[in-house]
Chains A and B, each alone.
Chain A
Amino acid sequence: MKTNKKNNPFYDPSLKKRHASAKRFKYFALSSIIIAISFLLFFLSDMLIKGLPALQQTYVQVEVTYNKKSMKSARQSIDRKLRRVVSRAAIREIPRQMQNDPQLMNTTKFKWILADDQVDQYIKGNYYKLKSKDKNKVDELKEQNRVELRFNSIFFTHGDSKIPEFAGIKSALIGSIFTLLVTMAVSFPIGVMTAIYLEEFAQDNKFTQIIEVNINNLAAIPSILFGLLGLAIFINIFGLPRSSALVGGLTLALMTLPIIIVTARAALRSVPDSIRQAGYGLGLTKIQVVRDHVLPLAFPGIMTGSIIGLAQAMGETAPLIIVGMIAFIPDSPSTITEAATVMPAQIFTWAGMPERAYIEKTAMGILTLLTVLISLNGVAVYLRKRFETKW
């Protein structure tokens, strides 16, 4: 800016400095955003690069012999030279196929069969551990177009497995849903009722102030302590089944309660007092004012807060490890009292596995968890927009 001091009545010598300071602040703020976004992008792209290959799984076309011998010992159904190339889990299935379909007996067929995880890694170009003769066999199959990458439906339709190519997220996903349902059923009504009582009905005295301070403090307690509390109360005292979604859900409910209470109170407080005054001025009782006029206005805020609390509970691992929800669960639980695991715990388990193939499973597990969390947050945003009333 070129300013002519003499001819410009608006000239202010201090302005240049003041503008510069504003600009500096703006760039600092901007750079912090850029740093945050680049971290996020790095994390996301790393997950995508590592995780997306898990969406595909290698299949090989091999000759399967169905006869009495292979009924007894499934390994016999595959040519000795190819045995190591196909998945053990797939071989295990062969006798069952024969039982289900007796016509298969004493036939030989070319079938597409799930490949071993090392073959899968080799095909995907990752680090692999294959004996050279097995590797040559795979190359040979590949030349004959008998190796194929297909969509990995196993990941979404099966539970955990010690055979990497056969491991899936389904049981953990169902465990997470059950746990979250328990958490929601317990913490939402109790939390919202507590908030309504404290905000609308309770007198402002020492007792309620102590309760208030304690609730706020609860929100800041490390989650592993809630796990110990859940272990002590729900398992040791009440004797509820260990590792179950019921215990995990109740434990997470303890953890989510303060978040729901605090956000619901904030939502209730943001309802203008004039609405309450209007209601009381018409001779309505407290419950009529709260239920029909205050609560509908606070509802979007309460929902948003609760969903964020639940999303946080969904990503929680530490307290669930303590109540035993880190178990190896190959079959999906069908009730809340059965042993279950949750997605973050599953990710944790896979991350500790030595097999190379679990790396992509871990990344894919994280992506699945993120997808669920983002959709939960999407629901929160939608509810907020949908029920927001303007006045």
Chain B
Amino acid sequence: MVKSIKNTNREKMKTKINVKNLNLWYGKNHALHGIDLNIYKNKITALIGPSGCGKSTFLRCINRMNDLINTVNIKGQIVIDDKNIYDNDVDEVSVRKRIGMVFQQPNPFPKSIYENVAYAPIKHGIVKKGKACDELVEKSLVSAGLWDEVKDKLQDPGTSLSGGQQQRLCIARTIAVEPDVILMDEPTSALDPISTEKIEALMLELKKKYTIVIVTHNMQQAARVADYTAFFHLGDLIEYDETQTIFVNPKEKKTEDYITGRFG
């Protein structure tokens, strides 16, 4: 069902994540049906679809977060940098280090702003405590557009920030581990419009360095930020194309119905 993407720049675009025939079961419930998808490097790919369509489940497959749920059973391949991350010799912890994740609810650790950012890089051995660590924290917070707001109160608890700031702190925390891909699971659904705008601007900035996959319920958001959009419905990938095409000229009836608000 997936239409190959006809793009004049196709030769230039590098595939970052290549999903091949991905199936997922929650116990006996078949939640993802043979998904095939190419996610391109330094692009923002949006996953849209009604609730329960499997888009979040799919997103969590990309960094093996679903491995945390006992009943989940996954078949198929997700190839990143020529390596299937579901191979037996791949440790899911190292996958999650390379593929960061930002969640729906801002979830800073109940520690200081500084520790929120510095904790994981220190544990991964990227930096040691001290000057290098301070620099990394600053760099990450600058990248997340939060530095100017928090530079005078790095020792305050991360939870003392506003919702939007907390979410940017979570993004900074993710960037600090130096991943290749950032997954975002409805990152702005708990935020007000102004914070949302800031996060969206930040995403457009971040895609220069990272490949971003975002799950969103907000169609305008997908249209505003995403280069590519995938439409999921009941565990199937219905349509995947450039965002422009999906929104202006969808090939599938279901996609058109969803986008025009006839269901979902």
Contacts and interface: CB of A to CB of B under 8 A. Distances in A.
Contact of B100 (A279, A281, A293, A389): A281
A296 B97 CA distance: 23
Interface stretch (B62-70, B215-223, B241-249): B62-70
Interface in B146-173: 157, 159, 170, 173
A274 B170 CA distance: 12
Interface stretch (A139-147, A282-290, A319-327, A366-374): A282-290
A108 interface: no
Nearest to A277: B103
Q: How large is the interface on B (under 10, 10 to 19, 20 to 34, 35 or more residues)?
A: 20 to 34
Contact of B108 (A204, A283, A391): A391
Contacts, number: 68
B110 interface: yes
B123 interface: yes
A391 B169 CA distance: 14
A283 B65 contact: no
Size range of the chain A interface in the assembly: 20 to 34
Nearest to B64: A280
A284 B123 contact: yes
B258 interface: no
A283 B94 CA distance: 6
Given A278-B107, A280-B65, A285 B93 contact: yes
B96 A278 contact: no
Contacts of B211: none
B170 A278 contact: yes
A390 interface: yes
A297 interface: yes
B96 A283 contact: yes
B109 A390 contact: no
A292 B118 CA distance: 13
Contacts of B123: 284, 288
10 contacts: A274-B105, A278-B108, A278-B173, A280-B65, A280-B96, A281-B65, A281-B103, A282-B100, A282-B173, A283-B94
Interface of A: 203-204, 272, 274-275, 277-285, 288, 292-293, 296-297, 389-391
